[in-house]
Amino acid sequence: MFDALKPQPQDRILQLIQMFRDDPRPGKIDLGVGVYKDATGLTPVMRAVRTAGKRLWESETSKTYTGLAGDPAFHAALSGVILGGSVAQDRIAAVATPGGTGAIRQALELIRLASPAARVWLSDPTWPNHPSIIRHLGIPMAWYRYFDAQTRGVDAEGMLADLGQVAAGDVVLLHGCCHNPTGANPTLAQWAAVADLLVARGAVPLIDLAYQGFGDGLEADAAPTRVLAARCPEVLIAASCSKTFGIYRERTGLLIGIGTSAQRGLIQENLAFLNRQNYSFPPDHGARLVTLILEDPALTAIWAQELEEIRLNMLGLRQSLAEELRRLTGSDRWGFIAGHRGMFSVLGATGAEVARLRDERGIYMVSDSRINIAGLNAATVPVLARAIADIVA
């Protein structure tokens, strides 16, 4: 049987991680892997998470299963942060998932179960796991324009033109904030136009919300999702707690399905069914930590302040890099870095230039020149800026 297996393409991020580990140079810089790092290069445990972990350790009396959908208290707490009362509770179904990737996978499974002929539309570019999972599931796929390579911003006109071609029942995958990989985001007015277009076309938004709080703040980053959820009759939201709470290894996610109040029970039943087929009961430890934090006003305040510190640190790094590049090149070409939001930006370097940055300067980034801003610190910003100024045409 196993002889019939075919070699699978290597994940370019995992391959890059291994290359970085194997590099003996002491001054190497990792801008590839998509995790937040502090100034020392570590991904810290947030103070609120550590406190919640101690409370859980002292109070937990059982390790028995939760329900198939996970803990309803987790659903309520996290969906409240995301939706903020923009949707009536009797329209919301939800299940806990193993991370945001698990939520995306379950959303796509639900789409395939409900409407096998539906196409899923993806932004060009998008997170590589999106098309990979869609192809694996055999779901029809299409692309819409998103990023303007000249301005390094959103191609709003091209985006709306392409989404004007979606058919009724198609699904449009949208990044709720902090677009990965580009870091370029539509304005709220552009988001409203997208929502109106999807309603007119009868399409369903699938929102990947992995970075709430990393862009312009918790409320501002949730605003596009709330606009879509309030205006569209059917919505799917795949939310991740990995970045927002810094609990990457806990694999904590939530899939929200929004329909009419009459549809809610059926959506919930099918979401639970899919959990049962894929992994039965979802992991609970990370979800329990998130619930403890969000149900305690004092812990919520600590967490929100920590998240704001992370956000401001990344904005500061963006501004410093853009200013240093302006100083070195005498050009405003790199100003888009300061204007982007979240962990990522795409520099616009060629594959050959990315290879030179790695080989000659020990600077590691994904082949499309996506960099993780959080991989920088005050000492490495000038190093990167000098390398870009010397190598990127």
Tokens, residue 143: 């692309």
Name the catalytic one among 30, 155, 208, 284.
208
Distance CA 279, CA 378 (A): 43
Q: Is 28 assigned a catalytic role? A: no
Residue 256, CA atoms < 13 Å, CB-side half-sphere? 31
Q: What 3-state class would DSSP assign to 385?
A: helix
Provide the residue count of the chain: 393
The catalytically annotated residue of 48, 93, 210, 385 is 210
CA distances from 147 to 46, 108, 119, 346, 348 (A): 33, 24, 21, 10, 11
* Catalytic residue, candidates 243, 287, 303, 349: 243
Per the CB < 8 A criterion, the answer to whether 140 and 116 are in contact is: no
97, β-bridge pairs: 253
Tell me if the bond preceding 282 is cis, omega within 30° of 0: no
CB atoms within 10 A of CB 305: 12
C-alpha 267/C-alpha 257 separation (Å) is 7
> Is-catalytic flag, 57?
no
Separation CA 217–CA 220 (nearest Å): 5
208: annotated active-site residue? yes
Q: Is 230 exposed, middle or buried (0-12, 13-18, 19+ CB in 10 A)?
A: middle
Contact 107, 253 (CB under 8 A): no
End-to-end CA separation in angstroms for the chain: 50
Tell me if residue 196 is catalytic: no
- Which residues are designated catalytic? 127, 208, 210, 243
